[in-house]
Amino acid sequence: MAETTFTLTHSRASDYRGTASMPPRLALQHLLNLLDGAMGGSYGATGFSVAGQASGTVTLANADGVQATGTVTLSSAVGVQAEGTVALSGVGGTAAFGTVTLAGAVGVKAAGTVTLAGGAGDVTITVGGTAVGPVAFNATDAQTALDCITALNADPTVSAIVTASDGGSAIITIESDTFGTGGNSITLSATRTAGTATASGATLTGGLQAVTVVVDGTSVSIAEHGVDDEATAALVVTALNADPTVGALITATSLVDVITLTADVKGTAGNAITLTSAAGDGDAIASGATLSGGAQGSVGVTVNGTLVTTDTTDLTDTAAATAVAAALEADGTLGPLLAAVGNVADVEITWGAKGTVGNAVTLSATSATGTATASGATLAGGLQAVTVVVGGTSVSIATEGADDTATAVLVVTALNANPTVAALITATSALGVITLTADAVGSSGNSITLTSAAGGGTATASGGTLTGGAQAVTVVVDGNTVSVADAGSDDTATAILVAAALNADGTVAALITATSSGAVVTLTADATGAGGDALTLTSTAGSGTATASGATLSGGAAVSYTF
């Protein structure tokens, strides 16, 4: 620059003119700054003007970013085993049965005859060992027969067991007073002093029981029928159930005229019990030569593809449930994997391994008789000991440790082993509390979502996201925020990063230019003059301090001096 000499003279204050009045010393200083290039402006022979840019500073002290964190606190957190049930109903098999149907079934009384012929002799008739007579011949054999009838019916001993009647043609008919085969044992004989008196046989004959039922070779009968077939059927039932041999094989019931015989033991064995029936008169029709319809009881339970079949013949549903449970636990494949117990008529199955793995174990059941109903196509209700969902990625452990502290260690291992989760956070634990720390420094970690659950007990997340993440340095210039998440190696390096970020922001760079020196970032208004003093300035640090020089930039000026 060519050397120019200015001479400033003054004698009074009125000598100072221009847009700003100033003492000569200050005016000289502005002029020297202008000439030195430290300030913008212009000068000439009649005076000079000076324009200054506003500026501010942000001074860093141990400024650093903060990582977001969250916690999951465990309390008695445990896994839950999957379970299922098989409900049994009528699985003990079917008892064989047969029927005897009555139609006009009645007993028949035994009877015999004595026939008189050819003579005039007296007649003596002996019935059941009691002799009646001699009855004198009375003109004819026919009349003598009538006299014998009167004598027989008049004898108290004989008339107590038989009744005599006229059979016509000098024939005396003698009939047992009771129905059934009992009358067939009443003896009968006759003698005559002249002519003949011929008995039909040594005993009465033809007496038949009202109903006879033969069960597996044992005959049970009733001699006397009831007032109708329904009453007769009831009498037969009583007789069948009273017989110790038959009662040990079957139980008899009746409905109207049908007698039902049901094997006492369920299963196919009852199908071999023979059955015949007869009526003295009328019909007693058996359903078949043997009882039928007996079926074995059997329950098949398939768990995880392995079928276990249990014979439940003649068992109650409660006993069958116990038997099926025992068979499942005794199975070489399933026994080591599950626990089973009979509870009333239910078989309760619990998968040995805790967690959701048991929910995939298939379950089905069948029964030869009755029903065996599985609770579902698979076991259900298995829950992981602890599940933690980080940023939408679920990580869980099925089985808890010895206590919450040990469980937390297992969860931490699982979280850090998951590549997706490990790219977001690092997990640590202490005394049952799992701490998740964002891998990235700064506020970005605050958006990482966090949920947790325990199968049993609790696993309580600190919040819906990680929190507490903060940028290393945040500078707000005239309402525009610029920040750096991670600090440099020291405040000087951090200041360089902050200056670069400010200058890279299009909006901020249109307002100021940032430079750094040591730990101080200087922001200088791009526009000269007092207008820069209106630019607001705030700053914060995640940790440490980032101290702004003031609430606005300052030092912008526009002055002139006229010689």
Report the run of H or E that residue 154 belongs to, with start and end: helix 141-154
Residue 7, pLDDT score: 39
**518-535 confidence digits (pLDDT tens):** 989 999 999 988 888 999
Q: What is the mean pLDDT of the chain?
A: 90
pLDDT beyond 60 at 27:
no
CB of 537 closer than 8 Å to CB of 477: yes
Listed by start position, the domains of the chain span 13-53, 55-64+470-559, 68-93+297-468, 105-199, 209-286
Residue 158, pLDDT score: 97
Which three-class secondary structure state does DSSP give residue 3?
A: coil
Among the residue ranges 36-40, 151-155, 391-395, the one predicted with the least confidence is 36-40
pLDDT beyond 90 at 211:
yes
**149-191 confidence digits (pLDDT tens):** 999 999 999 999 999 999 999 999 999 999 999 999 999 999 9
Among the residue ranges 45-59, 136-150, 277-291, 449-463, the one predicted with the least confidence is 45-59
CB of 512 closer than 8 Å to CB of 477: yes
**395-451 confidence digits (pLDDT tens):** 999 999 999 999 999 999 999 999 999 999 999 999 999 999 999 999 999 999 999
342 strand-pairing partners: 347
Question: Could you tell me which residue, 33 or 450, shows the higher pLDDT?
Answer: 450
CB of 448 closer than 8 Å to CB of 388: no
**435-473 confidence digits (pLDDT tens):** 999 999 999 999 999 999 999 999 999 999 999 999 889
Rounded to an integer, the average pLDDT of 293-314 is: 96
Q: Which of 104, 161, 112, 85 is nearest to 380 (CA)?
A: 85
> CA quadruple 401, 402, 406, 408: dihedral positive or negative?
positive
Residue 422, pLDDT score: 95
Does the domain at 105-199 match CATH 3.30.70? Answer given as: yes
Cα 347 from Cα 176, distance rounded (Å): 64
Residue 50, pLDDT score: 56
pTM of the model: 0.70
pLDDT band at 120 (very low <50, low <70, confident <90, very high): confident
Cα 410 from Cα 434, distance rounded (Å): 10
Residue bearing tokens 């010393």: 25
